[in-house]
Amino acid sequence: MKLFIASILMLFSPRNGFEWFVRKFFPNEYLVPGFSKSSCHLRKKLRSAAKFNFLFFAAAMVVIWSLWRFEFSMMNTIKAASAYIALTVTIGRGGWSLQTWDGSTLPERIDQLIYKMAQYVNMMILLGTIYYPTK
């Protein structure tokens, strides 16, 4: 659970909030040389990928809408969100360049957890939209 909270803080909180949490609950990890640099690198890569992927995704949605004039509905919005998550997780993952200690450092474990969580959420959304009863 602590790793999950650290993942959320890494993505959405300021750097100071994330580092405070790590100092409090993972004191040995915080003292590892290069921790701050690698966690900042991961945060920057993930946020940069999310922004770039959103621009690419928005352009693709405009082209698709102009060609097929799909209906704006809640189900189509959920399907689009699922596609965006898949794009960000598979292409926009920033942590692969961090893999230097066999996945044992805190930033590496956070990166792996973010990847797994996003894949599971995407799978649930995808299955929900596939099997949602249409009228």
pLDDT tens digit at each of 135 positions of the chain: 888 898 888 888 888 898 899 999 998 888 888 888 888 888 887 777 778 878 888 888 888 888 877 777 887 888 888 878 777 776 655 545 545 555 577 887 887 888 888 878 877 777 777 777 665
The domain containing residue 119 runs over which residues? 2-131
Predicted TM-score (pTM) of this structure = 0.63
H or E element at residue 97: none
pLDDT value of position 75: 79
Q: How many domains does the chain have?
A: 1
Q: Are 43 and 19 in contact (CB under 8 A)?
A: no
